[in-house]
Structure 1
Amino acid sequence: MPSPTVTTVAPQVLREWMDQHEDLVVIDVRSAAEFESLHIRGSYNVPLPLLTEHAADLASRLGERVVLVCQSGVRAEQARQKLATAGVDTAAVLDGGAPGFASAGGDVVRGRSTWGMERQVRMAAGSLVLAGLAGGRFVSPKLRTVAGAIGAGLAFSAASNTCAMARALGVLPWNRSADEPTAATAINRIPRSAA
């Protein structure tokens, strides 16, 4: 009977792998701004939209040992599934993401601080719901539909494992980096696997 495919890896296990395996590739699928604020030393930044669009190109460079990182695991799991369809079925997702790795004493690089995308989404959604409810109470009852629309959007986001609000927030100036990677620069930084 074949052994089950490992899809997650604990921060401590990743620390051990980094010491033991020269062929290990750690790919951070967060935005460039999130990557700049905190990332695992030696990891490569390939934001999820780039990875999704160029999964086959990336897969051609990767070997057997690949760990995908994001803030909490959601985007990294999406990347793992996309790479699996491109032929890389051995990739694993880091439990707890980059912050979990840092909390476990992993070697990280800290840069300019910015709120994580998930925190920004919670702030925007919460603010819009409050504005809709307050506007519905004091301006027009029709403004309560804003709260309903945000609630529906959050439910759809959870069901589809996507987030339109995160995409919209991702284009704001504080979420953009001077070094926003392109497909060529992000993928070409990753060394080709010898296998």
Structure 2
Amino acid sequence: MTLPRISPDEARQMISRGAVLVDIREADEHARARIAQARHEPLSRLGTIDPGKDAPAVIFHCKSGGRTSANAARLQAATDCEAFILDGGIDAWKSAGLPIVEDKKQPIEMMRQVQIVAGTLVLTGAVLGALAHPGFYALSAFVGAGLVFSGVSGTCMMARILALAPWNRSAAPAHG
């Protein structure tokens, strides 16, 4: 199932007429940047969305539109009213010049942290394997195996470890 996509300007107009905007991103993403009018209902804990008796529609958004599109059937099932996807997510909202609330003191999103650390470890293993000793290739293999395990199991040990880092301790809990 696909939900109709609407532009940021269409969404803004619908919100002004009572539609409910729902942010399905995880807590760490929402803490760093959000649309002020949006209710936060993380996809990982999504239940039934009750927009209220006067709400004509629910508009779901994520960062760029990928998660909302991939989970359209689940999002539609979460509400009894008409539902839409904000095309391009919060990124498109911001690009359209519409206001967002940002807290730059919050750490970057956990999955971006994981990507940076995993990429750095793989690159380090490859470079050291080529320049110092072939045994360093094992570091790249270990990180790759961890990423496969994360994808298969739906858990990410690196995210859990990074959540303990000092810069993440006051931030939202890791997901995954």
Q: Same fold (TM over 0.5)?
A: yes
Q: Is the 8 A contact 1:117 1:166 kept in 2?
A: no
In 2, Cα distance between the equivalents of 1:70 and 1:165? 24
Counterpart in the other structure of 2:26: 31
Query: Cα distance 1:87–1:97, how it changes in 2: closer, same or farther (>3 A)?
Result: closer
Tell me if structure 2 keeps the 8 A contact 1:36–1:112: no
Higher RCO (CA < 8 A, seq sep 6+): 1
Instruction: Give the aligned residue type for 2:66.
Output: V
Segments of structure 1 that go 5 or more residues without pairing to the other structure are: 181-195
In 1, are the aligned partners of 2:68 and 2:75 still within 8 Å (CA)? no
Unaligned runs of 5+ in 2: none
User: Which amino acid is 1:18 matched to?
Assistant: I
Tell me if structure 2 keeps the 8 A contact 1:33–1:176.
Answer: no
Structure 1 residues 84, 107: closer, same or farther in 2, change over 3 A?
same
Name which of 131, 134, 137 aligns with 1:141.
134
Q: Indicate the percent of aligned positions where both proteins have the same amino acid.
A: 30
Q: What letter corresponds to residue 144 of structure 1 in structure 2?
A: Y
Is the CA contact (8 Å cut-off) linking 1:32 and 1:176 kept in structure 2?
no
Alpha-carbon contact 2:8-2:93 (below 8 Å) kept: yes
Please tell me the root mean square deviation across aligned C-alpha atoms, in Å. Answer: 3.6
Structure 2 residue matching 1:91: 3-state secondary structure:
strand
Tell me: CA distance 1:131–1:163, structure 2 relative to 1, closer, same or farther (3 Å): farther
Question: Are 1:124 and 2:121 matched, yes or no?
Answer: no
Q: 1:130 to 1:79 in 2, by over 3 A?
A: same
The equivalent residue for 2:8 is 11
Q: 1:77 to 1:124 in 2, by over 3 A?
A: farther
CA gap 1:124/1:179 in 2 versus in 1, 3 angstroms: closer
Structure-2-length-normalised TM-score: 0.68
Residue matched to 1:94? 86
Paired residue type of 1:82? R
Per-residue deviation, residues 96-129 of structure 1 (Å, max 9, x unmatched): 2213212212132222343244533431232121
Equivalent residue, structure 2, for 1:67: 59
Aligned mates of 1:37, 1:48 — CA distance in 2? 17
Determine the structure 2 residue equivalent to 1:110: 102
Judge which range, 97-106 or 120-129, deviates more.
120-129
CA contact (8 A) 2:34 2:101 kept: yes
Aligned length: 165
TM-score, scaled relative to structure 1: 0.63
CA 176–89 in structure 1, closer or farther in 2 if over 3 Å, else same? farther
Deviation at 1:140, TM superposition (A): 4.3
Structure 1 segments of 4+ aligned residues over 6 angstroms from their partners: none
